[in-house]
């Protein structure tokens, strides 16, 4: 599928009908969206003088070079504004190349009868031009694949697909904050650098300055080698001689000035010896102590990592402020090249005090429904673009999820359904109680069995994290996953284990050291409270909404094994 297929001109939009085209408050231009996304397609603005700025999608000279038509897009909507420029106004050759940036002033006019557009701009003045060499421009007018665009990540937002995804992503972020703020949640910024492994899987990026320090030291030692033994012996003898000289002057009761001068020389010799001794201790490589890396010399004086989740930290605020949420980047050092994994991705993680698993499931369902309806209400033009070019069922899927009660079933019930179904269909992954559900199992439940979103709860404790509340059966934990059509797992959450003895035992069961979690255990020692929360993978939500297949295409700057461009 082309990543740059032309969007439809007629667009549904939330733009209200106004008498005049207003310039943006902080730039000297009228947004193209406010012109052509009106219910009248912009025809009601005919006769008005406006300034617009944008990038040329396509341009063509006509009338034997007497004028040119430009399809201009400024990123405010999927559709383009047709711009007509006479050769008398500006050299047409520098305007028509794809990718050219133009800032123009002119009059909005209704085009001749039979034209697709409802309005076009007749340029009277070209204010600015950012020219392009068509022979070198990396994004030609030809059909571009999403795979190709990953190798041109800094320019790919200029394509229709990536710009549509950016607007959908923005809408979902706005919807996220709107939902939680509306329901009284407090937004908390949790740290990117942490000393705690939230998932206990160990797949964390380490943050250290020891390597840089070692490299700097190695270069320094090459330029200024450490002192030799002879240099040290000479410095020691000099200190001894200077010390004896001071002693002799004092015993001879010489003048104060002479003694002070000798003492100054002794001090200088001692300082030089101290510096030489310090330099003699310098050794290339990462510092070690007792055969292990000495992290006490690292920047944070201990091992530190990029966070895999803000959940543990945001719990500290939930346990004193009630309902909170964090929304930020997380990192996994997992060597996975699948279409569902990134090394850096964003998570939405609410945490609710005095809430059990039932409350958690209600919140997760309401949040997902809210986001789906938000896109239908506020981003329909971009969703229509995705339907036309990528997934014909994308809008129907949003409507389904926004209007359907989610099916709820226990993990045990889900396994029973899958075992029964495996008699008639072949799953690649064996189905038995105790497994972590694979994507094919999740997709079967949502796409085939129920044709609806599904919440699976009460998972075996052996496959879940240490912080999840152990149920009375001592076999399962109060965990839940929200599964949606096409994507499978969208949300993972649980009621947190608030009992001190139980969570301490769980940490040890997982083979984790207690020391890094002492602060977390304090939440159970001092004023413990029942609380629950979940995490939504933001890029997975965008995959679900758009129908795209690869998660690398729904994040502005994808990071995955072997790639960290820009």
Residue ranges with strand state E in 268-418: 288-289, 292-293, 304-306, 323-331, 344-353, 407-410
- CA distance readout (Å), 341 to 34, 221, 336, 555: 37, 42, 6, 11
Structure tokens belonging to residue 161: 């697909």
Q: What is the spatial distance between Cα 235 and Cα 241, in angstroms, rounded to a whole number?
A: 10
Residue 245: CB atoms within 10 A of its CB come to 16
Please report the pLDDT score of residue 250 as a whole number.
Answer: 87
Q: What is the spatial distance between Cα 408 and Cα 480, in angstroms, rounded to a whole number?
A: 10
Segment 393-401 shows an average pLDDT of 97
Helices 538-546 & 357-378 angle (0-180, nearest 10):
50
Which is more confidently placed, 141 or 252? Answer: 252
Q: What is the CATH number of domain 1-137?
A: 2.40.50.140
Q: What is the DSSP letter of 461?
A: G
What is the band of 199 on the pLDDT scale with cuts at 50, 70, 90?
Answer: low
Grouping H, G, I as helix, E, B as strand and the rest as coil, residue 498 is: coil
Residues 429 and 438 sit within 8 Å (Cβ to Cβ)? yes
Segment 456-478 shows an average pLDDT of 97
Give which of 516, 519, 523, 515 is closest to 497, Cα–Cα. Answer: 523
Dihedral of CA atoms 529, 532, 535, 541 in degrees, nearest 10, equals -150
Grouping H, G, I as helix, E, B as strand and the rest as coil, residue 383 is: helix
Please report the pLDDT score of residue 285 as a whole number.
Answer: 85
pLDDT at 17 over 70: no
- CA distance readout (Å), 66 to 69, 93, 101, 106: 11, 11, 21, 17
| Integer Rg of the chain from CA | 33
Q: What is the spatial distance between Cα 166 and Cα 149, in angstroms, rounded to a whole number?
A: 14
- CA distance readout (Å), 28 to 17, 84, 103, 167: 21, 20, 9, 22
Q: What is the pLDDT of residues 39-55, one digit of tens each?
A: 999 999 999 999 999 99
What is the band of 473 on the pLDDT scale with cuts at 50, 70, 90?
Answer: very high
Q: Is 75 left (phi over 0), alpha (psi -120 to 50) or beta?
A: left
Residue 542: CB atoms within 10 A of its CB come to 22
Residues 457 and 411 sit within 8 Å (Cβ to Cβ)? yes
**292-324: buried (b, 16+ CB within 10 Å) or exposed (e) per residue?**
eeebeebeeeeebbbbbbbbbbbbbbbbeebbb
What is the band of 203 on the pLDDT scale with cuts at 50, 70, 90?
Answer: confident
Question: Can you name the CATH fold of 162-207+304-553?
Answer: BirA Bifunctional Protein; domain 2 (3.30.930)
pLDDT at 9 over 70: no
Please report the pLDDT score of residue 3 as a whole number.
Answer: 57
Side-chain-side CA neighbours of residue 236 (13 Å): 8
Q: What is the spatial distance between Cα 492 and Cα 407, in angstroms, rounded to a whole number?
A: 16
Give which of 43, 47, 157, 66 is closest to 108, Cα–Cα. Answer: 47
Please report the pLDDT score of residue 14 as a whole number.
Answer: 44
Please report the pLDDT score of residue 11 as a whole number.
Answer: 42
Residues 546 and 386 sit within 8 Å (Cβ to Cβ)? yes
Q: What is the pLDDT of residues 42-91, one digit of tens each?
A: 999 999 999 999 999 999 999 999 999 999 999 999 999 999 999 999 99
Q: What is the spatial distance between Cα 147 and Cα 156, in angstroms, rounded to a whole number?
A: 11
Q: What is the pLDDT of residues 436-450, one digit of tens each?
A: 999 999 999 999 999
Residues 448 and 487 sit within 8 Å (Cβ to Cβ)? no
pLDDT at 402 over 80: yes
Please report the pLDDT score of residue 144 as a whole number.
Answer: 87
Residue 15: CB atoms within 10 A of its CB come to 19
Q: What is the pLDDT of residues 97-127, one digit of tens each?
A: 999 999 999 999 999 888 888 999 999 999 9
Share of the chain above pLDDT 70, in %: 96
For the chain, give every domain's residue range. 1-137, 162-207+304-553, 210-297
* Lowest mean per-residue pLDDT among 31-35, 189-193, 422-426: 422-426
**Rounded mean pLDDT of the chain?**
92
Residue with tokens 């369902």: 365
pLDDT at 174 over 90: yes
Q: What is the spatial distance between Cα 480 and Cα 409, in angstroms, rounded to a whole number?
A: 10
Segment 388-403 shows an average pLDDT of 97
Please report the pLDDT score of residue 16 as a whole number.
Answer: 52
3-state helix, strand, coil in the chain (%, to 5): 40, 20, 40
Give which of 385, 420, 407 is closest to 161, Cα–Cα. Answer: 385
Q: What is the spatial distance between Cα 192 and Cα 205, in angstroms, rounded to a whole number?
A: 11
What is the band of 202 on the pLDDT scale with cuts at 50, 70, 90?
Answer: low
Please report the pLDDT score of residue 134 as a whole number.
Answer: 92
Residue 90: CB atoms within 10 A of its CB come to 17
Sign of the CA dihedral 427, 146, 31, 181? positive
Residue 27: CB atoms within 10 A of its CB come to 12
Please report the pLDDT score of residue 322 as a whole number.
Answer: 95
- CA distance readout (Å), 293 to 192, 280, 301, 342, 511: 23, 20, 12, 29, 21
Q: Is 513 exposed, middle or buried (0-12, 13-18, 19+ CB in 10 A)?
A: exposed
Residues 461 and 476 sit within 8 Å (Cβ to Cβ)? yes
């Amino acid at each position: 599928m082309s990543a740059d297929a032309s969007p439809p001109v007629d667009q549904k939009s939330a733009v209200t009908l106004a008498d005049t085209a207003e310039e943006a408050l902080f730039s000297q231009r009228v947004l193209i969206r406010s012109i052509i996304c009106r219910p009248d397609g912009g025809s009601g603005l005919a006769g008005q003088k406006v300034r617009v700025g944008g990038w040329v999608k396509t341009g063509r000279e006509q009338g034997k070079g007497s004028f040119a038509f430009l399809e201009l897009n400024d990123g405010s909507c999927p559709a383009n504004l047709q711009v007509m420029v006479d050769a008398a106004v500006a050299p047409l050759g520098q305007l028509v190349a794809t990718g050219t940036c133009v800032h123009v002033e002119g009059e909005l006019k209704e085009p001749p009868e039979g034209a697709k557009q409802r309005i076009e701009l007749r340029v009277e003045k070209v204010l600015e031009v950012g020219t392009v060499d068509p022979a070198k421009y990396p994004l030609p007018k030809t059909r571009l694949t999403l795979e190709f665009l990953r190798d041109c990540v800094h320019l790919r937002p200029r394509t229709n697909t990536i710009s549509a995804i950016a607007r959908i992503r923005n809408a979902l972020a706005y919807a996220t904050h709107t939902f939680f703020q509306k329901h009284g949640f407090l937004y908390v910024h949790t740290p990117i650098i942490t000393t705690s492994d939230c998932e206990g899987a160990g797949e964390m990026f380490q943050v250290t300055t020891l390597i840089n320090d070692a490299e700097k030291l190695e270069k320094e030692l090459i330029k200024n080698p450490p002192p030799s033994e002879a240099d040290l012996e000479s410095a020691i003898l000099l200190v001894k001689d200077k010390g004896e000289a001071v002693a002799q002057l004092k015993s001879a009761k010489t003048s104060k000035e002479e003694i002070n001068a000798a003492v100054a020389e002794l001090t200088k010799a001692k300082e030089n010896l101290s510096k030489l001794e310090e330099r003699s201790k310098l050794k290339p490589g990462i510092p070690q102590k007792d055969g292990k890396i000495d992290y006490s010399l690292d920047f944070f004086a201990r091992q530190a990592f990029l966070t895999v989740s803000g959940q543990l930290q945001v719990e500290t605020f939930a346990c004193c402020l009630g309902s909170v949420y964090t929304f930020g980047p997380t990192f996994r050092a997992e060597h996975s090249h699948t279409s569902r994994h990134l090394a850096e991705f964003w998570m939405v993680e609410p945490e609710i005090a005095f809430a059990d698993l039932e409350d958690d499931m209600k919140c997760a369902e309401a949040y997902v429904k809210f986001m789906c309806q938000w896109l239908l209400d506020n981003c329909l033009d971009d969703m229509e673009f995705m339907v036309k070019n990528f997934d014909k069922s994308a809008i129907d899927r949003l409507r389904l999820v926004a209007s359907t009660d989610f099916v709820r079933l226990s993990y045990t019930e889900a396994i029973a359904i899958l075992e029964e179904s495996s008699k008639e269909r072949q799953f690649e992954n064996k189905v038995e109680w105790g497994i972590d559900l694979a994507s094919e199992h999740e997709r079967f439940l949502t796409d085939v069995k129920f044709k609806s979103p599904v919440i699976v709860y009460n998972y075996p404790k052996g496959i879940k994290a240490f912080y999840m509340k152990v149920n009375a059966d001592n076999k399962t934990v109060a965990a839940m996953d929200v599964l949606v059509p096409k994507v499978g797992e969208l949300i993972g959450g649980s009621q947190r284990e608030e009992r001190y003895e139980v969570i301490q035992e769980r940490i040890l069961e997982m083979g984790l050291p207690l020391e890094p979690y002492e602060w977390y255990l304090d939440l159970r020692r001092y004023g413990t409270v029942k609380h629950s929360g979940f995490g939504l993978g933001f890029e997975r939500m965008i995959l679900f909404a758009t129908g795209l297949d690869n998660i690398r295409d729904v994040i502005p700057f994808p990071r995955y094994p072997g790639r960290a461009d820009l």
